[in-house]
Each structure stands twice: as structure tokens, then as C-alpha cells.
């Protein structure tokens, strides 16, 4: 990467992306740029073709010919929801501080990343020019594809196994508070018009929020590692060779390894395929985790493995309460159905609430 932290103000509107600015960030003299397309969202993606002053478009992979610049370029959105800037800043930190050292995992190549108080930017390769493809709003994949997905996650998990925020103080947990906040109006959200029909036990917001709080408070530290944190189908892509790569690194944090696995599996498999193959996928993940340097776990003889695995399906809670303003109705409805089936199969809420409270938790809630 050409740099990791921007010394000056970063562009917050597309007009600020210039050949001169890119020259400084890429470390090569850029003659001209062409904005080929844009994707607007919570974090927007601006796509450019680059011509360098020496007349060449690229140089043996040492500089990009096509880039995607991801950041906050919707000033109205930032004004209305200023917290969204933290997501872009978070992703820039992943690419500047973690990505250069992560092994055994596929994600977009970053050429530069940096942040300021009001922006976080990542200059990435344009994956569309590398033959990559992206999931539609709703789909499902064969088990073999998801086997590769959990292999990627095992690589990340093995590298950071047993570590925590104490080892990396700058990696604070932004995920749990965000989900707790989003789920707080549970009763109102699940009763909004046109929402998916839920079983009665998931209509009790007080009980479900208690289960969510206990999940966050009582995760087994035996399974702690660094997580991608948001492994649903909208945050993956496929390389030209058909391998899975992971996008959107704004939610990485330390937590239970099965968070990533349960979330990924539920969103990408049909209910029928998940039921038929999840133990096969789980075994493959555990074997890969050990092969890549993580601990060896035996789900047959270590009951804590299956308890933590089943509890971790609570991670899918977003699809039960997700506003249609954040994800399409089509995606929310399908992934809500898959989530409810997993909750039913693993008795997730009952499991979380039936376990004895740890002494510290019990004292805090007494």
C-alpha cells in the first residue's frame, strides 16, 4: 500500500477525487482519470479508470488501472446519520492496519486507505475488472461454495485465535452496541405492516432482547477470535476462479468464532441444505481451523462446542428486525425465513435463557 493515514483533509464529494489527489495516494503520476460508474449507499463506491503520465495504464500489477474508491460521499446522509462515518473509518482501519498482514483469506486489494474526523476512504482494485461476480439480492449456493467460505473464515480466525481487545486496544467492539440499539424497539418493528410472519415466541421483544443481551454477555472465551462480523451474502463476492472473498470490513471485532460461521451459513444456504449439511460444514470449518494453526475441537466429545455453536445463531437477529430502509424487502423476507428456521431447529432463545447465569452476570442483573 502507498500509505495508511491521510495527513490532509480527505475528499467528501466526488469532485475532490482528482488526478493530482490520486497521484499522491498511489505514489505514481496520474495524467487523467475517468469516473466510469458509481454505486450510492451508506458507504458509496466510485469507480475510475486511470491513465498515468508515462502513457501506460498500469505497471505489472504495481499500480492499478481501474479502482473503486469507497467512502462517505453523500453529505445529506452524513448530516442525517453522522454515525455512518464511523463505518467508513472502521473499514479504512482494517485495510490500513490489518489487511497487509492477514493470511489465508480473500478480500479486495487495497492501494491506499486513510481516515479523518469526517471521512474514511479505501482505494481498492475494481473487482469487476478482475472477473469477479456478486450475489443478487436473494439467492442460495451449493454446499461446496459455503465450504470455501468457512475455509476463508477459518484462516482469519486461526491467525487471531485467543486474542482480544486487550491485545489490540484500537479494535473496539462497535457491533454489539449497534445491534442492541437496533433491537431495542423489537415489539414495534416486528409488528410493522408487511413484515414476515413470526412464531409467537419471537413476538416477545422483552424476552428476545434478554436473550440477545445474554448472548453478548456470556460468550465462551474459549472460542474468542477476530471476526469479520457481517458475513451475510451481501458482503461476499466470487473470484474469477470461483472462490469466495469477503467485502465490507466495517464490523470486525473480537467475539465467538461461530458468530461468523452461523451467520454465513444461514444467509447463503436454503433451509433444507443448511439442515442437511450444517454438521458437515461445521466439521470442515473445525478441521480447517486446526490445520491453519488454531486449536483442535471435537464437537462429539466437547459439549461446549455445540452449545456455543447453537447460541451463536442469535447473530442472525438482524434479519428479524431489519428495516426495509437498510436492506431490500426481498432480501430481508428470505433471510428472515432462514433465520427463524435456524432459531426453531436449535432452540436458540430457550437455550440462551435456560443456561445458568455466570456469577458476574447474575450479580449485575440482581
Question: Taking 50 as the threshold, does the pLDDT of residue 364 lie above it?
Answer: no
pLDDT for residue 55 is more than 90: no
pLDDT over 70 (residue 106): yes
Fold of 143-365: Aminoglycoside 3'-phosphotransferase; Chain: A, domain 2 (3.90.1200)
Count Cβ atoms below 10 Å from residue 177 Cβ, excluding itself: 11
Chain-wide mean pLDDT for the chain? 93
**How confident is the model at residue 118, as a pLDDT?**
93
**How sure is the predictor about 56, in pLDDT bands with cuts at 50, 70 and 90?**
low
Contact 51, 57 (CB under 8 A): yes
Q: Given this chain, do its domains 14-130 and 143-365 carry the same CATH topology? A: no
Q: Average pLDDT in the 131-151 region?
A: 96
Task: Give the up-direction half-sphere exposure of residue 155: CA atoms within 13 A in the CB hemisphere.
Answer: 16
- Over range 95-111, report the average pLDDT: 96
Query: Of 217, 250, 257, 204, whose CA–CA distance to 93 is shortest?
Result: 250
pLDDT class for 358, splitting at 50, 70, 90? Answer: confident
Write out the H or E segment, with its range, that includes residue 45: strand 44-52
Whether pLDDT at 228 is above 60: yes
State the cell numbers at 286: 473445525
Q: Given pLDDT bands bounded at 50, 70 and 90, which one contains residue 59?
A: low
CA distances from 28 to 15, 64, 65, 168, 214 (A): 20, 10, 12, 33, 51
CB 316 within 8 A of CB 264: no
* pLDDT the model gives residue 359: 66
How far apart CA 4 and CA 356 sit, in angstroms, is 46
**Tens of pLDDT, residues 255-280:** 999 999 999 999 999 999 999 999 99
CATH of domain 14-130: 3.30.200.20
Strands 110-116 and 119-125: antiparallel
Q: How confident is the model at residue 6 (pLDDT cuts 50, 70, 90)?
A: very low
pLDDT at 3: 54
Q: Which residues contact 295 (CB under 8 A, 6 or more apart)?
A: 161, 289
Taking residues 324-340, what's their average pLDDT?
94
Report the range of poorest mean pLDDT among 75-84, 295-304, 333-342: 75-84
pLDDT at 31 over 70: yes
d(CA 185, CA 72): 27
Look at 193-197, 198-202, 311-315, 357-361 and tell me which has the smallest mean pLDDT: 357-361
Of 54, 35, 31, nearest to 45 (Cα)?
35
If you average pLDDT over residues 81-92, what whole number do you get? 92
- Which positions ≥6 away from 225 have C-beta within 8 Å? 156, 157, 158, 160, 161, 162, 163, 254, 255, 257, 294
Res 1: pLDDT: 55
pLDDT given for residue 361 in this prediction: 56
pLDDT at 46: 97
Q: What is the DSSP letter of 133?
A: B
pLDDT of 81 > 80? The answer is yes
Which ranges of the chain does DSSP label H, i.e. alpha helix? 19-26, 75-80, 84-93, 143-159, 175-183, 186-189, 205-217, 257-268, 271-291, 303-311, 318-321, 329-346, 348-354, 359-365
Residue 68: what pLDDT? Answer: 97
In percent, the amount of the chain with pLDDT more than 90 equals 86
Cell 428470505 appears where? 334
Per-residue model confidence (pLDDT) at position 242 = 94
Mean pLDDT of 200-227: 98
Pairing of strands 110-116, 44-52: unpaired
**What is the length of the chain?**
366
Please report, for the chain, the start and end positions of each structural domain, with discontinuous segments joined by +: 14-130, 143-365
Amino acid at each position: 500500500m502507498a500509505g495508511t493515514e491521510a495527513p490532509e483533509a480527505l475528499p467528501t464529494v466526488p469532485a475532490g477525487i482528482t488526478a493530482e489527489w490520486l497521484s499522491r495516494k498511489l505514489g505514481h503520476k496520474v495524467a487523467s482519470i475517468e469516473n466510469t460508474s458509481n454505486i450510492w449507499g451508506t458507504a458509496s463506491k466510485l469507480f475510475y479508470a486511470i491513465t498515468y503520465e508515462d502513457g501506460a495504464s498500469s505497471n505489472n500489477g504495481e499500480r492499478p488501472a481501474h479502482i473503486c474508491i469507497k467512502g462517505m460521499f453523500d453529505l445529506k446522509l452524513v448530516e442525517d446519520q453522522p454515525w455512518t462515518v464511523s463505518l467508513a473509518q472502521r473499514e479504512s482501519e482494517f485495510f490500513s492496519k490489518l489487511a497487509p498482514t492477514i493470511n489465508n483469506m480473500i478480500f479486495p486489494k487495497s492501494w491506499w486507505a486513510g481516515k479523518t474526523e469526517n471521512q474514511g476512504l479505501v482505494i481498492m482494485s475494481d473487482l469487476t475488472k478482475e472477473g469477479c461476480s456478486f450475489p443478487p439480492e436473494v439467492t442460495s449456493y451449493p454446499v461446496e461454495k459455503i465450504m470455501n467460505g468457512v475455509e476463508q473464515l477459518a484462516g482469519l480466525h486461526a491467525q487471531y485465535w485467543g486474542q482480544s481487545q486487550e491485545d489490540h486496544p484500537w479494535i473496539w467492539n462497535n457491533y454489539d452496541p449497534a445491534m442492541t440499539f437496533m433491537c431495542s424497539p423489537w415489539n414495534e418493528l416486528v409488528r410493522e405492516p408487511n413484515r414476515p410472519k413470526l412464531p409467537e415466541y419471537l413476538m416477545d421483544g422483552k424476552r428476545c432482547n434478554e436473550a440477545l443481551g445474554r448472548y453478548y454477555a456470556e460468550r465462551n472465551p474459549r472460542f474468542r477470535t477476530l471476526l469479520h462480523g457481517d458475513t451475510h451474502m451481501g458482503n461476499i463476492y466470487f473470484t474469477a476462479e470461483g472462490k469466495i472473498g469477503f467485502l465490507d470490513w466495517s464490523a470486525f471485532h473480537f467475539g465467538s468464532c461461530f458468530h461468523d460461521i452461523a451467520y454465513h451459513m444461514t444467509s447463503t444456504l436454503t433451509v433444507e441444505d443448511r439442515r442437511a449439511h450444517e454438521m458437515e460444514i461445521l466439521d470442515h470449518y473445525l478441521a480447517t481451523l486446526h490445520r491453519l494453526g488454531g486449536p483442535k475441537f471435537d464437537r462429539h466429545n466437547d459439549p461446549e462446542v455445540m452449545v456455543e455453536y447453537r447460541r451463536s445463531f442469535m447473530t442472525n437477529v438482524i434479519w428479524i428486525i431489519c428495516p426495509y430502509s437498510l436492506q431490500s424487502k426481498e432480501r430481508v423476507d428470505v433471510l428472515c425465513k432462514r433465520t427463524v428456521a435456524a432459531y426453531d431447529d436449535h432452540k436458540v432463545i430457550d437455550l440462551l435463557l435456560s443456561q445458568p447465569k455466570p456469577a458476574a452476570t447474575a450479580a449485575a442483573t440482581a
